């Protein structure tokens, strides 16, 4: 194999990643006299909070993952490159990225890192072998194929232990993703597969939501967590809190709760219980001397700089700052803050201040929770707010229009417009390890 010599280019700003924080920073720098290079391992800007709707056939992948080039391409001062950053020299102010056998060295004046997070298994990496992650489009499509294939196989079987396992789904992690996915799998059972003659009775489908915390949606707590658990149970979800997963194999999970062990037979286990910083966080930490927490997140300065380097910023899920949540609004505001400092609109060293505009999570059709300052909302009102806010965050008029049609068909009607095998004739999919996701 021949190895080509690295190509050298120089720009004003390098942004690593293509998620919410990276996109916000790039858009803030658009139209300035600064040359900006965006380097991403993926070609799309992923709306990760809606991945569970791809996995359950509500939305198509393209509706939540438009190409990053189509978003930034009209800005003459921004270039987008596909590649993985493998080295940073903070003293020489260069990054090196690769795509295939080619390597490119990029000199920069400022560096913004926004590579997000990957799945965490809390010291049990072996759990990845028998669980499904939900961090990338490929993860969502793999899970969608698996769910559909399980239902179809179960439909052809008489009552048996095998059929019960095929129709059993365990979701580990009762944060927003876990709650939303568990709710949608029950929706599939009640409103899609149970419709019409010859369907699979909804009562035959078992969905178990497991979390080690004492409450579902623990970041909300109180009334909203209680409403969420109550709504899930009413929909048929078996909610088990204060329960720790101790083992996972291809036929189920083992739990420990209340001093007792229990086993849940299931062919589908989805892991949404935790995250850790992407691998690039370690590369940047080594290059800048920045400390990391137990989850590998960079302990950035108040102004989002890394390791005391005034020209290196890190934002989003790969960082830890003042207990801020790993949510897209935080990453977006951090991206704009870093960009304003770089563009000279904000003084160097200015501390980042997060404006909390509230948070929300959907449970199932017509049920959601929302927290906006002192106001706590539940039910249809919160659900309509959730739809409106997520529609606003989708990029592009066409994606918003198509999403509305898909939501109408799925939530008002009983259709699942995108619930089909990604590969026709595919068999039951095997769980695949999660890959890191730009954010």
Edge-to-edge order in the sheet of strand 206-210: 237-240, 206-210, 168-172, 268-271
Distance from chain centroid for Cα 385: 20
Helix 379-393 to helix 397-407 angle, to the nearest 10 degrees?
150
Matching residue, tokens 């369907």: 199
Burial of 156 (0-12, 13-18, 19+ CB in 10 A): exposed
Q: How many other CB atoms are there within 10 angstroms of residue 408's CB atom?
A: 12
- For the annotated catalytic residues, the residue numbers are 180
Helix 328-342 to helix 20-29 angle, to the nearest 10 degrees?
30
- Enclosing H/E stretch for 130: none
- Enclosing H/E stretch for 312: strand 309-314
Matching residue, tokens 């942004």: 15
Is 25 in a helix, a strand, or coil? Answer: helix
What distance in Å separates the CA atoms of residue 106 and residue 114, rounded to the nearest whole number?
A: 17
What distance in Å separates the CA atoms of residue 385 and residue 368, rounded to the nearest whole number?
A: 9
């Amino acid at each position: 194999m021949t190895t080509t010599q690295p190509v050298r280019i120089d720009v004003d700003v390098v942004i690593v990643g293509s998620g919410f924080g990276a996109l916000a920073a790039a858009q803030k720098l658009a139209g300035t006299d600064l040359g900006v290079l965006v380097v991403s391992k993926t070609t799309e800007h992923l709306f990760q909070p809606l991945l569970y709707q791809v996995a359950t056939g509500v939305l198509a992948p393209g509706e939540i993952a438009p190409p990053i080039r189509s978003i930034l391409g009209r800005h003459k001062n921004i270039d987008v490159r596909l590649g993985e950053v493998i080295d940073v020299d903070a003293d020489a102010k260069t990054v090196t990225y690769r795509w295939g056998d080619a390597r490119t060295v990029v000199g920069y004046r400022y560096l913004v890192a926004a590579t997000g997070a990957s799945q965490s298994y809390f010291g049990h990496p072996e759990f990845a072998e028998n669980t499904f992650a939900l961090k990338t489009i490929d993860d969502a499509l793999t899970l969608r194929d698996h769910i559909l294939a399980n239902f179809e196989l179960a439909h052809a079987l008489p009552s048996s232990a095998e059929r019960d396992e095929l129709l059993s789904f365990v979701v580990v992690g009762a944060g927003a993703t876990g709650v939303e996915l568990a709710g949608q799998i029950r929706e599939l059972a009640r409103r899609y597969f149970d419709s019409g003659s010859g369907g699979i009775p909804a009562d035959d489908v078992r969905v178990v939501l497991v979390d080690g915390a004492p409450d579902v949606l623990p970041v909300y707590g109180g009334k909203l967590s209680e409403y969420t658990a109550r709504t899930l149970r009413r929909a048929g979800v078996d909610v088990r809190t204060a329960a720790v997963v101790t083992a996972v194999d291809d036929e189920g999970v083992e739990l420990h709760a209340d001093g007792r062990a229990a086993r849940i037979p299931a062919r589908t286990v989805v892991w949404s219980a935790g995250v850790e910083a992407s691998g690039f966080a370690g590369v940047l930490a080594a290059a800048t001397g920045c400390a990391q927490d137990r989850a590998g997140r960079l302990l950035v300065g108040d102004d989002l700089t890394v390791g005391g380097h005034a020209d290196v910023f890190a934002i989003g899920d790969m960082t830890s700052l003042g207990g801020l949540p790993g949510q897209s609004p935080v990453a977006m505001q951090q991206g704009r803050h870093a960009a304003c400092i770089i563009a000279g609109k904000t003084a160097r060293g200015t501390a980042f201040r997060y404006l909390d505009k509230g948070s929300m999570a959907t449970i199932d059709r017509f049920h959601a929770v929302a927290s906006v300052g002192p106001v706590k909302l539940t039910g249809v009102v919160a659900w309509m707010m959730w739809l409106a806010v997520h529609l606003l965050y989708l990029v592009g008029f066409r994606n918003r229009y198509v999403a509305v049609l898909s939501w109408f068909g799925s939530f008002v009607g009983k259709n699942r417009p995108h619930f089909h095998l990604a590969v026709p004739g595919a068999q039951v999919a095997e769980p695949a390890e999660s890959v890191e996701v730009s954010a």
